[in-house]
Amino acid sequence: MSARDENLPGIVFRTHITVCPECRLHLNVHRTRRRTVKSVHGTFTAVHKLMKCKKHKRDSWIPSD
């Protein structure tokens, strides 16, 4: 991310689920991806957060809504 991107307004996309559906443990951020998006209304940074349970590590990441 460049210094210019840090000054852009950001929108965070993440799931509304805060606990694992199987074990009820709190979800942690597994991966964060950022993209600069240009629209007719201006330029902003989209931040996509994938959440994951510590206990169910193999394939249980939960994408944003």
* Predicted TM-score (pTM) above 0.75: no
Domain ranges (residues) in the chain: 3-52
Q: Are residues 50 and 62 in contact, defined by beta-carbon separation less than 8 angstroms?
A: yes
Q: What is the pLDDT along the chain (65 residues), one digit of tens a residue?
A: 554 556 777 888 888 888 888 888 888 888 888 999 998 988 999 988 888 888 876 556 676 66
